[in-house]
Structures are given as C-alpha cells and as structure tokens.
Amino acid sequence: MARSPFAPTRVLRVSLVGAVASALMLSGCAAQGTAAAPAEPSAAAAEPSLEFEGPNGEVPGALAELELTDDELAEVEAGDYTAAFVWHTSGDFVAAVEEGARAEFEELGIEVVASTQANFDAGTQANNVQTVMALDPDIVVAIAVDPTSAAKSFQPILDAGAKLVIMTTPPEGYAAGDEFVSIVTEDLAKAGRANAEILGDALGGEGEVGVLTFNANFWFTNQRDQSFTDWLAYEYPDITVVEEQGFADETATQAAAAAMIAKNPNLKGIYVSWATAAQGVLAAIRASGRTDIQVVTNDLDTTVAAAMVTGTNVAGMVGNGSLDIGAGLARAGAYGVLDKDAPELVASDPTKVTAENLVEGWQADYGVEPPASVTGG
C-alpha cells in the first residue's frame, strides 16, 4: 500500500460498479384488534456488474492491447529517451510497479533518470515535479496525489513536451490522448469480487462484518470498495455488513477499527481498502484479544502477509498485477514518444492471495518469492 497505488481525492463522472441491494423488511401496520401482517423476506441482491470506468468515463481494455511492432521497437531504442517516476507514496506495491516499469524501459532502451515519492502530500509532489523536470525526461510516469492541485503542479511536464503516463489517477481536467498518453491500472470490479470471495469463504458464508473505506472522492478506490460490497451481498447473502466507516488518513484506521470491534461484539470480518491501512486494523484486533476476526485487503504487503502466515486474523490479500502494471506504464510511455495513439485505459487482472498460495501469488505479483520476514525462513 504499501499504500495503495491508489488512494487520495477525486475525480469526475465516477460510475460505481453495481449497486448494493437494500434489504427492506416490510412490517405490517395492523388496525386495532387485528394481527400484524408477517414481515416479508429480504430482497435478494442483484448480480453486480464486472464493468468499471476510468475517472473520465474511459472504458478499460486489457494490458495486452499495448503492442509495439519490431520497427517501432527499433525506433524507440534508437531515440535515446529518458524517463522519470513521480509517485504518490512508497511501499511494496509501488516498488514492484517501478521494478516492472524499469525492466520494460531497459528492454526499450530508455534510461530512468529519477524516481520520487510524496508521502501523499500534494505540496511535496509539486516540488518533486520541479526537481524531476530539471532533468528534462522525455517520459514521466506519475499518479496525482490530489487531482485538483495537480492540474497546476503537473503543468511543467506538459510545458516541457514530456509524455505523461498515468497510474490510476490523472490531474483534474487532463484527458487521455491530450495531456497524457494512457491510464494503466488493475481491474477494479474483479479486485472487489476477489476480496469478497476471500472474506466470504473464510467466514464460511455467514456472520457480521465491518467495512473501512477511503473517505474521499477517489475513483479507483471508490469503485473497488463498492465492488467488494456488491459482490459480498450477492454471493454471501448470510453475511451482514453491520457497520461501514470512512477514513481520510490510513493512520486513523486503528482507532476506527477498535471502536467498530467494541460496538459490534459479534464482528467476524473487516474489509479495508488497502494494505498499509489494514496494519492499523490488525493492531486494533490484537489489542482487543480477538482471534476470530478476519481481515481482507488489497495489495501484497510484507507486514500484513507476515500476520497472515503467523496468526489467525488475515483471510487474504488481493494482488494488483504490479509487475504487469509497471510494464504497461513503460510501454505506454513508448507509445507517447512515438506519437502513437494508445488505449485510454488498460487494466491488469488481480490475484487472490491466501496463506495457501502465498509464494505463488507473491511471485505472480512481484516476480520474487516473499521475503524471510514474511515466511519466517
């Protein structure tokens, strides 16, 4: 999360995936002396959609759509191009995405000249843009911490004629094919469904759960969170969401989870938007002495993974296809320097990761085995 590739304020025309069906109990209002009519059963949740949209209504395609011919590859390699990263934060996920991008840039003959991260601070990111652009890169791979302020702070990238490639979140008002080349991300609908299935299966299809989601208009996280809620309601009708809370700062999740646990003594599961935010939830569960509450979250994180291996409170995590996202970002950068039209949005397939397939899942997402701090080896 590793703070999620994917978190801060957001954007326009968000179309949330599916809809959570309301479970309405109709109570009969009987006249005096007349028995009340029996309550009708709860309505079944409608099957959610597996479609999602980008921040400006972009329809996602597959990463495989980013293809270069042999002639185009040769042209890029001969161009002596450079690239830089302007990240929103650091962490396992971002590191893996950058690793995938660097490997692809190397194959393309493109030199990486800088990498910065902003600790989710828009002012820091604005300064980072200035620092990076002093090196005059041809390609900038970035994700906006705050789309509104980034519309101005990213302007030096456009002024220099560099090709901007976006991981998930562009500046407000920027459009694919104009201000940036393409958005590269994960399939949000599938990720939400994977989270729901990990937690639902871990709970045996029944029980009370809580939901902790990012409390901002951030298209990426909003749609992934909504997909989780929709698929949980549809596939596990005997699981009840008893409380949902938003958080603006991932350091606040411990207090929020502690209050949720105290208020709901029968709580059996908690969904959290991303892995570093889940660390606080795990701390709250440990402090409560509960060993029967299962957590599910997004991103493969060493701290959460270690807790999954050694404890009982992590049902699983959903990997984003990090290396593939990185490779896609680099390939989109090549499209940019070639002035080749790219798909507006492409998405990788997520991966369910539990204790049973941790090694395989980690290799699929990060290209290496999990570290000894995770496996205890």
3-state secondary structure of 135: coil
Distance of CA 191 to the CA centre of its chain: 8
The Cα-based distances of 9 to 120, 145, 150, 165 in angstroms read 11, 7, 11, 19
Q: Residue 92's pLDDT is what?
A: 85
Q: Residue 31's pLDDT is what?
A: 29
SS3 track for 79-139? CCCEEEEECCCCCHHHHHHHHHHHHHHHHHCCEEEEEECCCCCHHHHHHHHHHHHCCCCCE
Tokens of 302: 């060493």
Q: Residue 302's pLDDT is what?
A: 93
Distance of CA 69 to the CA centre of its chain: 31
Relative orientation angle of helices 70-77 and 92-108, to the nearest 10 degrees: 100
Widest CA span in the chain: 90
DSSP state of 144: -
Select from 2, 5, 7 the least CA-distant residue to 212: 7
Q: Residue 217's pLDDT is what?
A: 80
Q: Residue 359's pLDDT is what?
A: 96
The Cα-based distances of 373 to 97, 305, 322 in angstroms read 21, 9, 20
- By CB neighbour count within 10 A (0-12 exposed, 13-18 middle, 19+ buried), where does 285 fall? buried
Select from 210, 193, 205, 189 the least CA-distant residue to 271: 210
Residues 368 and 362 sit within 8 Å (Cβ to Cβ):
yes
Q: How many CA atoms lie within 13 A of 8 on its CB side?
A: 25
Residues 20 and 230 sit within 8 Å (Cβ to Cβ):
yes
Give the amino acid at 200: G
Q: Residue 1's pLDDT is what?
A: 39
CA–CA dist 315, 102 (Å, integer) = 32
Domains identified in the chain and CATH numbers: 61-186+322-350 (3.40.50.2300), 188-319+354-375 (3.40.50.2300)
Distance of CA 122 to the CA centre of its chain: 19
Torsions phi, psi of 102, nearest 5? -60, -40
Q: Residue 43's pLDDT is what?
A: 60
- By CB neighbour count within 10 A (0-12 exposed, 13-18 middle, 19+ buried), where does 177 fall? exposed
Q: Residue 45's pLDDT is what?
A: 81
DSSP track, 181-241? S-EEEE-HHHHHHHHHHHHHHHTTT-EEEEEEEE-S--HHHHHHHHHHHHHHHHH-TTEEE
Torsions phi, psi of 281, nearest 5? -65, -45
Q: What is the pLDDT along the chain (377 residues), one digit of tens a residue?
A: 344 434 433 332 333 333 333 322 223 332 233 333 433 434 678 999 999 999 999 999 999 999 999 999 999 999 999 999 999 998 888 999 999 999 999 999 999 999 999 998 999 999 999 999 999 999 999 999 999 999 999 999 999 999 999 999 999 999 999 999 999 999 999 999 999 999 999 999 999 999 999 998 888 999 999 999 999 999 999 999 999 999 988 899 999 999 999 999 999 999 999 999 999 999 999 999 999 999 999 999 999 999 999 999 999 999 999 999 999 999 999 999 999 999 999 999 999 999 999 999 999 999 999 999 998 87
Q: Residue 22's pLDDT is what?
A: 31
Tokens of 163: 């090709």
Q: Residue 2's pLDDT is what?
A: 43
pTM over 0.85: no
Distance of CA 374 to the CA centre of its chain: 22
Give the amino acid at 85: F
Torsions phi, psi of 72, nearest 5? -70, -40
